Every structure is written in C-alpha cells, then in structure tokens.
Chains A and B, each alone.
Chain A
Amino acid sequence: MRRKNLLLSGWGRFPSAKSDAFRPEKLSEIAACLRDGDGSILARGAGRSYGDQALNSAGAVVLTERLDRFLSLETEGSTSTLTVEAGISLSAIQRLLIPRGLMLPVSPGTGFATVGGAIANDIHGKNHDADGSFGAHVAWIDLLTASGDVRRLTPDETPRDFWATVGGAGLTGIILAAALRLLKIPSNAVALREERMPDLAAFLNGLRAARAAARFSVGWIDALASGDRIGRGILETADLSAEGVAITPRKAKAIPLNLPTFCLSRSSVTLFNAAYYHRIPRAGRQSLRAIEDFLYPLDALAHWNRLYGKLGFSQFQAVLPDDAAETGLRALLNAVGQGGTASFLAVLKTLGAEGSGLLSFPQPGFTLALDLPRRAETEALLARLEAITLDHGGRIYLAKDSALSAAGFARMYPRLAEFQAIAAEMDPVGRFASDQSRRLNLRGA
C-alpha cells in the first residue's frame, strides 16, 4: 500500500503535524496497511475531533473515508438495526434513515463525523439524559486488531474489549464496521422551544427542568457576558414532533478562506453574541425544525473553522457534577472572560447517567464547551481551565482536547488503569497510538 505524507490537524486546526497516510479503498486493503507499516498506526475518520486525537506524527494514519458503505438495514420486531462501514458520515446515515421514519438515537453537533469516530469517542448529543451516549446503541463492532484478525465485539460476549473500544480513542484497533440500533421517529422534525436565559442560575434551573420535561436540550451561552449577565444565553428544548416540515435543500454556504485574526476582535464577537441573544423574543418562541437542522446547526456553514484564522483554535469541553456545577461553571466562565480572547457562543448541556465505556466522557452533570482562538496566552488559559475542572470534580473530553496534562487526565478518568490493561491484552506490542495517547500516556507505561 502506497502512503502519502500529509499535513494533518484536527477540526480546531491546532496542533498540526505531518504524518504518513494510507487510504484504503476496500476493507481487504486495510489489513495491508497494518502489515506494511512497522511503526504505530491509527485510524482517522473525518478528522472532526478538535485536537491531536486523530494525529499520529510518529507513525501512520489510515484514512477511512473511502469505507463508507451501508451494509444492511433490518427490522426485527420493534427494533431496526443499521449496519455500516466505519468511514460513513452520520449525515449520510440520517439522510437515508429520516425519510424512512428512523434516525440515529445519538448524534454530536456535527453530522460530518464518522461512525468510527462516534464509537471511538462514545459521543453524546443534546439528549444524553434520555438516550445515553452513542455506545449504548451499538449492537456490535468489527475491529481489526493488532494481530491482523478481525474480531466481532459485542457488549454481551466480549464486554471488556467492547467497552475499551467504545470511547477508546482508536487505541484498541481499527473499527471496520458496526451495527447500530435505531430510533423510530414520527416525522422529520422536532418541536423546538427557544427561550432567553438572563443569567447562569436561571440557565441551570432551565436545563435542570428540561432533563425530565424534554428529550433534547441545549444552551447557547454568551461567553463574553460578564457581571450580572454572566452565563446568559438561549435555552433550546425540543421533542420529536408528530408533524413534519417540508424540506427545502439547504444551500451550503462556506467560509472561503482563513479570516484575518482582527475579525475576531473582542468587540466584534461581543456584538455577534449580543445579537444572537436578542434574536429570540423576550417571551420565547416555538417552531418546527427539521431534525438535521436542529442537530447539526453549524454544518450549513462549511469550513467554519476558518473563522478562527490560520492560527486555529482550541476547543474546551468539561463536565462538572451537578452539585459543583454552578460555582465551577462560574469559575470557568470568569477565567475565559478574563482570558482576553474572544470566544463565540459556548454550549451548555446536561449529561445523564455514566455509560460503560472505560474512557467515555459523559458523567452526570453539566457540560460546557467553548472555542478558544489560539493566541500566546491560550496554553496558560487551558491549564487554568484544567485546574478549575479538577477542583470541581469534573472531567475533560478527549475528542476536544489538545492540552491536558497526563496527571490531570488520570485523575479525571478513574478507570484508566483498567483500560490500559485491556488495551495491552488486545494490542500487546502497542501498534495503536496517537499524538494524544503519547501526550496523555493513555496506553500506560
């Protein structure tokens, strides 16, 4: 298999690193990538994790983008199951399913992510309290292991290997295919309610109430508001709607090039965030929205990461337990506000019960995600945010991370040692690694 040397980065475009890349066209060619490489290797899907998770500058990556086929769609009793190759995007799946009255039960904020990436990060959506994370709906995974064998992992027969692979950041093997249990939907739309939340306390109350009252909920916070207004924003809650909407094909807009950094000055972003807040009438509003538009709002704007210029940005996402959430979130938002860099809207959501993935991110509490444009002080700010997260018993999400310390990570993920032991059984020679796994020592000593 021929390799191509590519400059790769995550969606945040920081850090970037040169790496050899294989791009198999068929499943039968993937095993050859594993045989032909001698160093470490890592599957890379759409490159939609933000930091260095899908980079492997010390070895090679296997691009899974050409392994994007539907393999079957079956209904047995009341359960429908879709089988796909791992490189297919979640959007492609939703486009197939939604007209058939089905959807993926769990989706992140972008439909461009692949199934392989969704499993490797055990991603969550705006409905974690109701539906859990992605891994909870996976019936089996076909995994190419370090020995070159393809193993079918299931939660019943191979729970250890399955739950090390779900959320395992690609470090147990290369996910080739998976079977996904689907959600029945009454129409192609959600009934959406949007309300202004004047401050953080109101926001947390609103989200808490939404946990039981709505299937989906997400908050958009103006991360530059300060003083009394800290934590103000828009709360969106939604439920599957019986009534559908007419779909007009979205005209994809794109950011054509890297914006110069002055476009993201503090004043311009403050204006944008304020406008976003005041867009919703004081009394709130209700509407029907197409499911894809609701789940993937930013996908309508291709290359939106160019908004942050060529320096890129770091994304930060942490979850804090319920009881520590208000003080912890206030501390995080204060640190960001004082950081001097302009952050666009931040996202605030609730998470429900912890799943079984050993390195899965979700734990009960409130999760805050925000973009930090890369500047000289970003590194220090991220270290500060890590410390605040640790102080409040929270954890940071591997899919977003580019800056955590190995010690900090180990404190956040108590099942790390268990993961390392299983990964060592599955891949004794340590073939599977990433820039992130080396930085955080995920594979252990």
Chain B
Amino acid sequence: MADRTWLILGASSPIARAFARLVAGQGARLVLAGRDTDDLNRSAADLRLRGATAVVVESFDAEDSASLDALAASLPRHASPGGLDVFLAFGLMPEQKAMEADPALAARCLTATFLGAAHLLLAIAPMLEAGRAGRVIVLGSVAGDRGRFSNYVYGSAKAGLAAFCSGLRARLYRSGVTLTFAKPGFLDTGMTWGLPGIFYAESPERAATTLLRAALKGKEVLYVPGFWALIMLIIRSVPEKIFKKLSI
C-alpha cells in the first residue's frame, strides 16, 4: 500500500481516525483533511509512528466552496505514483429540533453534508479517472434510507449523497475506480455516547476494518454493521400511511 495515497476527508472523526490508523499500519501515504488542524497534526505524528510512509495535513471547511477547490488543487502535490484513494467521512448533524427552529442551520447541515461532499468529489473525480485504479469510500448513513420524523434534514442530505454516489460510481467504473457507499448504523463515537436507545454501537476500529475490506473487494453499498440491512429493510417497507404516524 506504500505507493498509494489515502485522502481522508473529515479526518478528526473517530471512524476516520480508526481508518487512517489501519492503512497507516500497512504503510500507506496519507493526506489528512479537516477543520481542526491542531488535532490533525497530532494525528499525523501518531500515524507516522504507526507506519505511514508519509502524512500531510490540509485544512478545509465543507461549507466554504473556495476551500474545497483549494483542497482539490493541493492534491496533485501530495498524490503518489500509485494514485489516490479517498475516504470521505465529513458531515454536519445538528439536532433536528434546532434545525426546524432555524432553517439557516438546516441549510448548513445540507451544505456541509451534501453540497460540500458532492463539490469535492466532482473536483477530485478527474484525478481519480486519470489514476485508473482508485478506491473511494463515502460514508452515508442509515438516516438516508428514508426521511424520518426525528432526523429528516440530515437524512435527506445523506439520501442526496447516496443518489449522487450511485451516479458517480457509474462514471468512475469506466476508469476502473470503485466507489463504496457505506451506511453506518450506530457507531461507538461521541455522536451516540450517552444517547438513549443505543442498543449496539460498533467500535470505530471494527467498522474501519469492515470498510477497508469492502472497498478492496469493490463492494458498491454496505451497511455497517451488516445487520442494519435487515432493520432498514423493515423501516423501508412500512407504508407511508403508517410511517407518518411513527416518531422514529
């Protein structure tokens, strides 16, 4: 893996950190991109000692399109001869109630989670096509499978991202690049810590291992952990007439 560069977008998130450690242990080169560069610089030092061949840190703000273009423009400097792989793990999930009270906050959620991701993926796509071998992992969410009473703003952003990635996958396929769209259920992170109703939260380390394996196999879509496929099958099958009465 030493000749390939993993671009980790949203690199401060626990799942991204676990993923970066996993590929660092295999000798990958890494570009860590995110907002909190202090934190990313600490991660960079950690990943170098854990075996990464090289690590650079780039800052970007998913709500600022100029910073997305700047990030994309910086990548040719960092990409290694073996080409670029992408792990996209950023998004913004404010409380649903807060977004209902403040449409501007909802717009920020949609901007960071959908527009920012789509913008960046479009900007990177030509590099991926030129490389002809990349692996792209995009983190969606089970929230994107159906707009629910309790989480429909964020859910719609991830649903949009799912549709976008389905089309982008077809485009990249023509250049030998795979796109794996992962839909995590509950991950054991600050997002689920202490929330009521969390019955099982997958550790970031296990989720990262599952994601890397799926991407190397070129899997198109998966739930993490896998049993969420069954839960979401049931949730998708409920008729709207009934679904609208549920407060899930």
Question: A residues near B, CB below 8 A?
Answer: 2-5, 23-29, 66, 69-73, 85, 96
Which residues of chain A come closer than 8 Å to B39, judged between CB atoms? 26-28
| Given A26-B36, A28-B39: A3 in contact with B194 (beta carbons within 8 A) | yes
What's the minimum C-beta distance from B7 to chain A, rounded to whole angstroms?
Answer: 20
Question: What are 9 A-to-B residue pairs whose CB atoms are below 8 Å?
Answer: A2-B190, A2-B193, A3-B194, A4-B194, A23-B193, A25-B190, A26-B39, A69-B42, A73-B49
> Closest chain B residue to A73 by CB distance?
B49
Residue of B nearest to A26 (CB): B39
B residues in contact with A73, CB < 8 Å: 49
Ranked nearest first, the 4 interchain pairs of A and B with the lowest CB-CB distance are A4-B194, A69-B46, A2-B194, A70-B49
Q: In the complex, what's the smallest C-beta–C-beta distance from B156 to chain A, in angstroms?
A: 25
- Does B111 sit at the interface, judged by CB under 8 A? no
CB-defined interface of B161-188 with A at 8 Å, one 1/0 digit per residue? Answer: 0000000000000000000000000000
Residue in A closest to B41 when the chains form the complex, CB atoms: A71
- Contact across chains for B190 and A23 when beta carbons are under 8 A apart: yes
**Pairwise interchain contact B195-A96, C-beta atoms closer than 8 A:** no
The reply to whether A69 and B43 form a contact with Cβ atoms under 8 Å apart is yes
Distance between A37 CB and nearest chain B CB, rounded to angstroms: 13
Give the residues in chain A near B42, CB-CB below 8 Å.
27, 69, 71, 85
Question: Which residues on the B side are within 8 Å of A29 (C-beta)?
Answer: 190
Using Cβ atoms and an 8 Å threshold, which residues of chain A touch B193?
Answer: 2, 4, 23
Q: Does B151 count as interface, using CB distance less than 8 angstroms? A: no
| Other-chain residue from B14, B38, B45 in contact with A69 (beta carbon distance below 8 A) | B45
Q: Is the interface of A mostly helix, strand, loop or mixed?
A: mixed
Q: How far is the CA of A244 from the CA of B2 in the complex (A)?
A: 28
Bound form: Cα–Cα A394–B67 in Å: 64
Residues of B within 8 A of A25 (CB): 12, 14, 189-190
B99-151 with Cβ < 8 A to chain A: none
Nearest A-chain residue to B13, judged by Cβ: A25
Known: A2-B195, A4-B193. A26 touches B46 (CB 8 A): no
Q: Which residues of B contact A5 (CB under 8 A)?
A: 194
Number of interface residues of B (CB under 8 A): 16
Is the beta-carbon distance between A28 and B46 smaller than 8 angstroms? no
Q: Are B12 and A26 in contact, with the CB atoms below 8 A?
A: yes
Closest CB-CB distance, B2 to chain A, in whole Å?
18
Q: Does B50 sit at the interface, judged by CB under 8 A?
A: yes
Task: Check A28/B36 contact, CB under 8 A, given A2-B194, A4-B193, A71-B42.
Answer: yes
**Least distance between B95 CB and chain A CB atoms (Å):** 12
Shortest beta-carbon distance from A245 to chain B in Å: 22
Known: A2-B190, A28-B36, A71-B45. 17 other contacts (CB 8 A): A2-B193, A2-B194, A3-B194, A23-B193, A25-B12, A25-B14, A27-B39, A28-B38, A69-B43, A69-B45, A69-B46, A70-B45, A70-B50, A72-B45, A73-B49, A85-B42, A96-B49
| CB 8 Å contact bits of B49-72 with A (1 = contact, 0 = none) | 110000000000000000000000
A433 to chain B, nearest CB (A): 22
Please name the residue on chain A nearest to B48 by beta carbon: A70
Residues of A within 8 A of B38 (CB): 28
Q: How far is the CA of A27 from the CA of B190 in the complex (A)?
A: 13
The proximity string for B residues 189-233 relative to A, scoring 1 for CB distances below 8 Å and 0 otherwise, is 110011100000000000000000000000000000000000000
Give the residue name and chain of the A residue nearest to B43 (CB). A69
B190: A residues at CB distance < 8 A: 2, 23-25, 29
Distance of A195 from chain B, by nearest CB (Å): 39
> In the assembled complex, how far is the CB of residue B201 from the closest CB belonging to chain A, in whole angstroms?
11
**CA gap between A70 and B45 in the complex, in Å:** 7
Query: Which residues of chain B are within 8 angstroms of A66 by Cβ–Cβ distance?
Result: 14
CA distance in complex: A423, B45 (Å): 33
- How far is A24 from B14 in the complex, measured between Cα atoms in Å? 11
Contact pick for B46, options A3, A4, A24, A70, CB 8 Å: A70
Q: Look across to chain A and name the residue whose beta carbon is closest to the beta carbon of B51.
A: A96
| Cα separation A25 to B195 with both chains bound (whole Å) | 16
* CA–CA, A69 and B239, complex, Å: 48
* Smallest CB separation, A20 vs chain B (Å): 9
Compute how far the CA of A2 lies from the CA of B190 in the bound complex, rounded to whole angstroms: 8
A395–B12 alpha-carbon span in the complex (Å): 45
Q: How far is the CA of A96 from the CA of B50 in the complex (A)?
A: 7
A156 to B39 CA separation, bound complex (whole angstroms): 29
In the complex, what residues of A have CB within 8 A of residue B49's CB? 70, 72-73, 96
For the complex, give the distance between the alpha carbons of A69 and B39 in Å.
10
Determine how close the nearest CB of chain A comes to the CB of B94; give it in whole angstroms. Answer: 14
The residue on A at minimum CB distance from B49 is: A70
Q: Which residues of A contact B194 (CB under 8 A)?
A: 2-5
Q: How far is the CB of A63 from chain B (nearest CB, A)?
A: 9
**What residues of chain B lie closer than 8 Å to A2, measured between beta carbons?**
190, 193-195
Distance of A221 from chain B, by nearest CB (Å): 39
A26 to B45, CA, bound (A): 15
